[in-house]
Amino acid sequence: MSRIVIIGAGGVGGVVTHKCAQLPDVFEEIVLASRTEAKCQAIADQLDRPIRTAAVDADDVPAMVSFLKAEKPDLLINVALPYQDLHLMDACLEAGVHYMDTANYEPPDEAKFEYSWQWAYQDRFREAGLMALLGCGFDPGVTGIFTAHAKKHQFDTIDTLDIIDCNAGDHGQPFATNFNPEINIREVSAKGRYWENGAWQETEPLSVRHVFDFPEGIGEMPMYLMYHEELESLTTHLPEIKRARFWMTFSDNYLKHLEVLENVGMTSIDPVSFNGQEIIPLQFLKALLPDPSSLGPLTKGKTCIGCLIRGKKDGKDKLYYIYNISDHEACYAEVQSQAISYTTGVPAMIGAKMMLQGHWMKPGVWNVEQLDPDPFMADLNRYGLPWTETYPDTVSLD
Ligand code: NDP
């Protein structure tokens, strides 16, 4: 009998719940809990099997511990926000529940993310005989599994890794973000950073640009160098990588709006006083922007996320590109969410399945690239995120 608790009823939470509900043999009992129970209920109403819902505040650790002790799940899937990661890890430790998430911890009052806070739980999880699986969405998540798969089956050594995230979809809105606007804008407006020859190199936000020719009819799109959290874990766990970078596509329209919002201070996370009340401009902006879940029925086009890897096999240089293409409308037809939530929620479901079925179950705190990629790669093809491998002659991103 396996029982899971999913925390967070946003875009990603909706997809995880749908996908877990599709596999009653693995996920026999599902509880979806979030700050606003009505959102859990709305997701539950879309399913063709019953699940339970609850209202919880994931930041209230004692209340979460009582909730988990009453529910007795085997695993907690955290798809609330990165701010909740440590509180939920604390609650899982105390209640004796395995943990997983899709994004690393960020302190609410500082636009900074790194794994150190969560890696610091290693001994406590190991000693408790519990597992914490970190960053099991698409990026981070599948990008790390693609890299582990490449290392296992394609290369003797990996020299360079370029993770390339393209959203060629269009939602028709003047400005909207595809996942939580606060998290998205904090990430995009931060300085760029990449790993080269044993050190981090910093770039001004969105200042390094390349045009990349995306496969399967997407064509050429500009993409920008950004910092992304899996660069930290991948260069730690695969120290042979000499250079690791992350790229994301943005439309000119998105960048124009972002620049104006930044210039007028709307993306700041420093509190300002307004009519006698303290507000955080970015949180106010989030309240004005379309809810990402409302973009599902509007978004058309495809996403293409993958890894371009250069390295050596049998003494010879090799270039390898592995990617997934997802179609926004097809995702919506299946689970009532666009492809950004879909490409995050499906790997979260597969990661949970890997843990519950024992393929990946081991005490301690783990990033996905530290685990066997084979069963996960097989499940990507089975559950909606098929991947393609190519061997381009040349691709220059220098
Ligand atoms: P949303 O903002 O749509 O949803 C977040 C949900 O968490 C909301 O339902 C919210 O409740 C709930 N929540 C927030 N705070 C609390 C709390 N204290 N207690 C209980 N519930 C809470 O975000 P997304 O679904 O877009 O993203 C979810 C996660 O997925 C984020 O951590 C994001 O960074 C990550 N992500 C990872 C990706 C990857 O590829 N690895 C890609 C995209 C996202 P309420 O509705 O009441 O506000």
Cα Rg of the chain (Å, integer): 20
User: How do the residues of the chain divide into helix, strand and coil, expressed in percent and rounded to 5?
Assistant: 40, 30, 35
Asked, for residue 314, whether it belongs to a domain, the answer is yes
CA distance 35 to 52: 15
Which atom of ligand 1 is nearest the CA belonging to 39? 46
**Tens digits of per-residue pLDDT, 149-175?**
999 999 999 999 999 999 999 999 999
Average pLDDT over residues 35-54: 97
Q: Which domain holds residue 222?
A: 142-336
Residue 363 in tokens: 């005490």
Looking at every residue in the chain, the average pLDDT score rounds to 95
Which atom of ligand 1 is nearest the CA belonging to 59? 18
Residues near ligand 1 (Cβ within 6 A):
7-13, 34-36, 39, 56-59, 79-82, 84, 102-103, 137-141, 179-180, 183, 292, 344
Q: Which of 173, 334, 313 is nearest to 254 (CA)?
A: 173
Contact 337, 15 (CB under 8 A): yes
Report the residue among 102, 234, 246, 349 best suited for mutation to probe ligand 1: largest number of ligand atoms under 8 A from its CB: 102
Helix (H, G, I), strand (E, B), or coil: what is residue 183?
A: helix
Using the structure block, give the residue that is written with the tokens 């296992």: 152
Residue 176 CA: distances (Å) to CA of 180, 187, 206, 266: 10, 15, 18, 14
What's 56's DSSP letter? -
Question: For residue 191, is pLDDT > 80?
Answer: yes
Which atom of ligand 1 is nearest the CA belonging to 343? 40
Give alpha helix (H) positions in 109-180: 116-119, 122-128, 142-153
Average pLDDT over residues 297-315: 97
In angstroms, the first-to-last Cα distance of the chain is 52
Residue 137 CA: distances (Å) to CA of 104, 182, 189, 335: 11, 18, 21, 16
Predicted local confidence at residue 113, as pLDDT = 83
Asked, for residue 257, whether it belongs to a domain, the answer is yes
Average pLDDT over residues 218-243: 97
As a whole-number percent, the residues of the chain with pLDDT over 90 amount to 90
Question: For residue 364, is pLDDT > 80?
Answer: yes
Predicted local confidence at residue 295, as pLDDT = 87
| CATH at residue 220 | 3.30.360.10
> Which has the higher per-residue pLDDT, 184 or 374?
374
Asked, for residue 283, whether it belongs to a domain, the answer is yes
Question: For residue 398, is pLDDT > 80?
Answer: no
Asked, for residue 15, whether it belongs to a domain, the answer is no
Asked, for residue 377, whether it belongs to a domain, the answer is no
Helix (H, G, I), strand (E, B), or coil: what is residue 101?
A: strand
Question: For residue 1, is pLDDT > 80?
Answer: no
> Which has the higher per-residue pLDDT, 395 or 43?
43
Output the CA 311–ligand 1 centroid distance in Å: 36
How many domains does the chain contain in total?
A: 1
Contact 151, 320 (CB under 8 A): no
Contact 253, 175 (CB under 8 A): yes
Output the CA 226–ligand 1 centroid distance in Å: 21
Predicted local confidence at residue 397, as pLDDT = 83
What's 291's DSSP letter? P
Contact 130, 363 (CB under 8 A): yes
Average pLDDT over residues 377-390: 98
Contact 192, 203 (CB under 8 A): yes
**Tens digits of per-residue pLDDT, 68-105?**
999 999 999 999 999 999 999 999 999 999 999 999 99
Which atom of ligand 1 is nearest the CA belonging to 344? 40
CA distance 239 to 161: 12
Asked, for residue 395, whether it belongs to a domain, the answer is no
In this structure, of 89-103, 129-143, 177-191, the range with the lowest mean pLDDT score is 177-191
Contact 339, 166 (CB under 8 A): no
Question: For residue 294, is pLDDT > 90?
Answer: no
Predicted local confidence at residue 277, as pLDDT = 95
Asked, for residue 207, whether it belongs to a domain, the answer is yes
Asked, for residue 162, whether it belongs to a domain, the answer is yes
Predicted local confidence at residue 6, as pLDDT = 98
Average pLDDT over residues 99-118: 92
Nearest residue (by CA) to ligand 1, atom 41, is: 137
**Tens digits of per-residue pLDDT, 331-356?**
999 999 999 999 999 999 999 999 99
Q: Is the dihedral of CA 219, 221, 224, 228 positive or negative?
A: negative
